[in-house]
Structure 1
Amino acid sequence: MGTLCGVGAGALWGLVFLAPELARDFTPLQLAIGRFLAYGIIAFFVIMPRWPVLKSRLKKQDWRALFWLSLFGNTLYYILLSKAVQSGGIALTSLVIGFLPVAVTIIGSRDKGAVSLTSLLPSLLLCGAGAVCIGWQALKAPEATHQTSMGLLWAITALLSWTAYAVGNSRSLVRLSTVSVHDWNLLIGLVTGAQAACLVPIALLSGHLDHDLMSWSCFVGVSTAVAIIASFLGNALWNKMSRLLPLTMTGQMILFETLFALIYGFLWEGRWPRPIEVAAFTLIVCSVMTCVSAHRKHHRTFSNAAMQSSRNGV
């Protein structure tokens, strides 16, 4: 069930990579504000009936966690992601985000009872090989340009931001047993919406607001669609998955976002993937499958050891 939730979240989140292309006339800051204002408004109306109960269950440290998770996982991440897509393209950006499992797995391997890095080594090597393919395409391929290199830089920065979110969110959900994953998702939406509202004056002062009615209509439509599909539904599936899977496996699940984003990107650009992209795609899929296999073996070993210990105690 945890893996299925991860696949669903990836399929919905992959659509986020299309938004900067669909509304290319708008800046990454404007795209982030539009998406998360819509997300915040939706979260506000859905959460209001349960607000008195939720408020009593949250401590000061929980509100601090919500602020930083909203910043690194939504506001800052989406600005960086949009800049990466508009500079380097959908395929490059989505493949770089596929690096996330390496960082999260290494961090999660320190958790108690986690799968060891030795067991995860085949998965990490496959993911690393895929990363080499990505780097070659961005820096050494004949079609690479200075703008492509900048796209790579923005994508790496977005990756760091999302790594911080993935680790912090997973650990927060484990700690907060009194708050459902659905309510946690809505609370993040509420805080993210407030952050987006605070950014509106900056967007107004920076200009770039001279658009026709058709462009503004497209912007509103894209922002609302991404807020509902990716932020509301996608985050709900991801939070559900975060409570069902260990942190070392949580990072691997983000690769499904990479896979779906690539598919959407190729459909948008109307082309077949290049050989180097096929290689990266294949290596990432193999990385996920070997990671899932390692966790299954670890779970069986842990269960057998616990059963044997129980018998010895009797």
Structure 2
Amino acid sequence: MAVGVAFALAAGLLWGLVFVAPLMLPDYPAALQAVGRYLAFGLLCLPLAWVDRRQLRGLTRGDWLEALKLAAVGNLLYYTFLASSIQRTGGPLTTMMIGTLPVVIAVAANLRNARRDGRLPWARLVWPLGLMLLGIGMVNHVEMGAVRASDDASLSRYALGAVLAVGAVVCWTWYPLRNADWLRAHPGRSPRAWATAQGLATLPLALLGYLLLWAWMGATGAAFQMPLGPDPLFFVTLMVAVGLLASWLGTLCWNESSQRLPTALAGQLIVFETLAALCYAYLWRGQWPAMLTWGGMAALVLGVLWAVRIKPQPVVAEAHPN
């Protein structure tokens, strides 16, 4: 149990890095950060593909198309939304909204897969959801005050960042549900090989996205210095670090934790990612969170922990009247 919790903590600390990387590269477009990160991750998957080559050969054309869809939405589009949002909100609000994912996914599954996976009682979900919304509202109040007090305040920029965060939540609500559909439909397949297939599918998409972004900037006369921007060494180092530590090592630590802990407990420990991301954001700012922010963080964490403890109830099929 202790080792499992330690692995979950390590995964959260590593995954939190993806929330501070956009703050470290404020002059780099979010789309470039997304394709850069997943180029690095895709290249890391090449040696893993050799290990899983037998399983990968068994995938059909339809399987590879599904892997492409998952890679496009769950990797590239999600991180583009996330990085764009963080650059506009400063980090904490986006992190809080992404922190609701365990419950948002559960609610979406409640609507979509109740007959297959059981239904969460709405009457019991209302209270933790309300607590989470209260936490987000508290942090938003603090961040909005900071925006208004700033010399270069832009409420429209901040609002756009919040909308982009919603887009990131939508992407990563769709992804695990669709991914679970494939895994349940193919119980004999290796989850590790399927993850590797998605990494391989990400590689050509990221490369194509990189080339299209480069061409677009050239055609529009953008002042940004392609292909690696104003600080090439830092950009490449950070993308490789995020690809290695967050995308690969973080997932490895999470898998190790998931093998040792009950699923219900593992789901609750995803909050380590949210807390790590918030800590990194404030460390990068060089600020101490306001008391209202501390209260909002506590409300979010308590709401998530409360919600994930609610057990789904089996849906009993009604008998046909005839």
TM-score range, shorter chain: 0.7 to 0.9
Alignment of 1:1-314 (within 5 A): 7-56=9-58, 58-109=59-110, 110=114, 111-139=116-144, 142-143=148-149, 145-146=154-155, 147-207=157-217, 208-209=224-225, 215-238=231-254, 254-295=270-311
| Contact 1:185–1:232 (Cα < 8 Å) also in 2 | no
Give, as a single letter, the amino acid of the residue that structure 2 aligns with 1:41. L
Cα drift, residue 151 of structure 1: 1.6
Amino acid paired to 1:151: G
Change (3 A) 1:219 1:107: same
The 1:55/1:153 distance shift into structure 2, 3 A limit, reads: same
Cα gap change, 1:128 to 1:216, in 2 (>3 Å): same
Q: Could you tell me how far apart the structure 1 residues matched to 2:128 and 2:102 are?
A: 9
**Structure 1 residue 254, shift from structure 2 partner:** 4.6
In structure 1, how many angstroms separate the alpha carbons of the residues matched to 2:171 and 2:104? 11
User: What SS does the aligned partner of 2:117 have?
Assistant: coil
Percentage identity across aligned positions? 30
Distance of 2:256 and 2:170 partners within structure 1: 23
TM-score by structure 1 length? 0.81
Q: 1:228–1:14: structure 2 CA closer, same or farther, 3 Å change rule?
A: same
Name the TM-score, length of structure 2 as normaliser: 0.79
Q: Residues 172 and 126 from structure 1, CA distance in 2 versus in 1: closer, same or farther, beyond 3 angstroms?
A: farther
The match for 1:312 is none
Asked whether the 8 Å contact 1:123–1:288 carries over to 2, the reply is yes
- Separation of aligned partners in 2, 1:70 and 1:175: 19
Distance in 2 of aligned mates of 1:23 and 1:262: 17
CA RMSD of aligned residues (A): 3.1
Which SS does the other structure have where 2:231 is aligned?
Answer: helix
Q: Is this contact kept in 1: 2:102–2:308, CA < 8 A?
A: no
Aligned-partner SS, 2:35 = helix
| Alpha-carbon displacement from aligned partner over 1:141-166 (angstroms, at most 9, x marks no partner) | 64463222222122121121111113
Paired with 1:231 and 1:241, the residues of 2 have a C-alpha distance of 16
Amino acid at match of 1:48: W
Contiguous gaps of at least 5 residues in structure 2: 218-223, 315-322
Runs (5+) with no aligned partner, structure 1: 303-314
Q: Determine if contact 1:77/1:162 at 8 Å carries over to the other structure.
A: yes
Q: Is the 8 A contact 1:33 1:197 kept in 2?
A: yes
Deviations 1:193-239 (A, max 9, x none): 11101112212123322588981000110000000111112234556
Between the aligned partners of 2:303 and 2:205, the Cα distance in structure 1 is 36
Question: Partners of 1:213 and 1:60 in 2: how far apart?
Answer: 37
Higher helix share: 1
The answer (yes or no) to whether the contact 2:82–2:164 under 8 Å persists in 1 is yes
- Give the Cα separation in 1 of the matches to 2:199 and 2:262: 23
Shift of 1:98: 1.9
| Cα distance in structure 2, aligned partners of 1:148 and 1:105 | 28
The number of aligned residues is 296
